[in-house]
Amino acid sequence: MSKAIQTIVFVDDDRIQHMINRKNMLRLKEDLNLQFFENPFSALDWFASNDADLLILDVNMPEMKGWEFLDRLKVLNKTIEVKMLTSSVDPDDIEISTQYNMVSGFLVKPLKNDIMAEILGL
Amino acid sequence: MIKDRKEYQILIVDDNKGDRVLIEAYLEDTIILPKISEAESFFHAKKIIENNPNFFDVVLLDLSLPDLSGEGLIRSIAELLPETPIIILTGYPDVDFSRKSLKLGIADYQLKDELNPLALYKSIIYAIERKKVTNQLISSEKRYKDLFQLSPMPIWVYEKVTLKFLAVNKSAVETYGFNEGEFLSMKITDIRPVEELPALYQAIQNDLSKKGINLSGVFKHQKRNGEVMDVEVYANDIDFNGKSAKIVLINDITFKSKYIQAIETQNKKLKEIAWIQSHIVRAPLSRMMGLIELINVEEESNNLSDDLKQLIQFIRESAIELDEIVRDITIRTEQIKID
């Protein structure tokens, strides 16, 4: 981790996971800037004028696949560290992820506090 | 002179009693025990033959009987006794007819005037032995014809140059629905859907370099009713009546193909179910697990009763157990593979 993570964007259609993650993350580090989006298009709008240190991105969303979201981010010339969020790690998804340099790993729902603490460098 | 000791059953068909007596005398000169039956007419001969089927070793036949003569007589007797040699004894030399009678299956053609005991005996022995060989050939030819015709799998022969069918067996007729005549007026290109023709020409090209029996491949063939089948085709080179040809055996694998397709479809559905398990079913479960962990953390600051803590612990264990079950189902489904 080259620089301290301050701004984290969550893109996932699961509202309850957002609520759980918000509570857990703030408990880990209370001054984090957390952005939660249930709709990937709203997230892309936000990225048009903002930057983040880490993107936690759901693989399977009804509006678009996580991969398509990454393609659209590339168009915006964004390079952000990305952790793919999934209910279950699919070998096909790992295969696809090799084509995306931004992706540094997979996280299985629900997010575990110890793993998140490690990512935050705590 | 040493006489033949074997017992011969001989049928003499002649309307002239004097001739019959003479022939019998000749026979007795060379054969110890000629068992002679006599007939004066075709009708009479027919009755004797029908009463003693497969009984005579040889028939001595006069060509002109009161009720039947010439070619008609020969055909009728030969039909009654297909496996017995027939020797014609006639009073009139007719070279053309003698030649023709041989084509009709007659063993020998003798002029009564030139006959003597030894010549007759020799003619009879030769006729019997030759007929034995001919009968063996006929039965061997029938045996091989049966192997082709009665094969439960479709077999045909086609000419390499023209691609025309030269022979087809019963199973091919039954399987494809074309009768033999239709088959023999067709080419092997006529039993395929048009889009299959390039594959056929390619296979024929490949075949040129192959020797011996080989699996030409899996093709689509079309029946007379338009139905298309998946078939495995085995071929071998054959010289067929002087033509360079291929003998081909067809294995209908339509059922097998359909079966494999059904399994593949089923497998795909299983994978979909696995995906639903691991993603859709697990989504609310992971939410529950997240919530339980949250409660666990919150409980430290709140003063929950021991009973409630116990209940939360049970819910947590149940959720973890359910999570393991879902993962197990996913792993098992991913292991399903068809080679």
Residues B15 and B82 both lie in one domain: yes
Residues B71 and B168 both lie in one domain: no
Residues B23 and B133 both lie in one domain: yes
Residue A64 near residue A40, CB atoms below 8 Å: yes
Looking at the complex, report in whole angstroms how far the Cα of residue B273 sits from the nearest Cα belonging to chain A.
13
Residues B222-228, mean pLDDT to the nearest whole number: 93
Residues B172 and B299 both lie in one domain: no
**CATH architecture, domain A7-119:** 3-Layer(aba) Sandwich (3.40)
Looking at the complex, report in whole angstroms how far the Cα of residue A90 sits from the nearest Cα belonging to chain B.
9
**Closest residue to B297, CB basis, from A16, A27, A86:** A27
Q: For the beta carbon of residue A78, count every other beta carbon within 10 angstroms.
A: 18
pLDDT in tens, A65-119: 999 999 999 998 888 999 999 988 888 888 999 999 999 999 998 898 899 999 8
Tokens of B181: 């005549």
* CB contact set of B279 (below 8 Å; sequence gap of 6+): A60, A86, A87, A88
Residue spans of alpha helices (H) in B150-225: 170-176, 180-184, 197-207
Tokens of A41: 């298009």
Mutate to test the interface with B, among A10, A14, A88, A115 (most CBs of B within 10 A): A88
**What Rg value do the Cα atoms of chain B yield, rounded?**
41
Reported confidence tier of residue B3, pLDDT bands at 50, 70, 90: confident
C-alpha distances out from residue B216 to A98, B234, B246, Å = 42, 6, 11
Q: What's the domain count of chain B?
A: 3
Residues B36 and B124 both lie in one domain: yes
pTM of structure: 0.53
Per DSSP, the residues of B101-117 read HHHTT-SEEEEGGG--H
Asked whether residue B339 is domain-assigned, the answer is: no
Last residue of a domain, one of B141, B176, B202: B141
Complex-level ipTM: 0.82
Q: Are strands B155-159 and B165-168 parallel, antiparallel or unpaired?
A: antiparallel
Task: Using a CB–CB cutoff of 8 Å, tell me whether B153 touches chain A.
Answer: no
Tokens of B288: 């529950």
Last residue of a domain, one of B79, B109, B141: B141
Asked whether residue B148 is domain-assigned, the answer is: no
**Closest residue to A110, CB basis, from B293, B297, B327:** B293
Residue B339 has pLDDT above 80, yes or no: no
Alpha carbon distance A60, A93 (integer Å): 10
**Closest residue to B278, CB basis, from A17, A20, A87:** A87
Residue B222's domain comprises: 155-252
Asked whether residue B186 is domain-assigned, the answer is: yes
Residue B304 near residue B263, CB atoms below 8 Å: no
Residues in chain B within 8 Å Cβ distance of A13: none
Residues B141-170, mean pLDDT to the nearest whole number: 93
Residues B222 and B299 both lie in one domain: no
Residue B202 near residue B128, CB atoms below 8 Å: no
Asked whether residue B25 is domain-assigned, the answer is: yes
Looking at the complex, report in whole angstroms how far the Cα of residue A77 sits from the nearest Cα belonging to chain B.
31
Residue of A nearest to B296 (CA): A24
Task: Using a CB–CB cutoff of 8 Å, tell me whether B316 touches chain A.
Answer: no
Last residue of a domain, one of B199, B219, B252: B252
**Closest residue to A110, CB basis, from B278, B279, B290:** B290
CATH number for the domain including B35?
A: 3.40.50.2300
Residues B287 and B302 both lie in one domain: yes
Q: Where are the domains of chain A?
A: 7-119
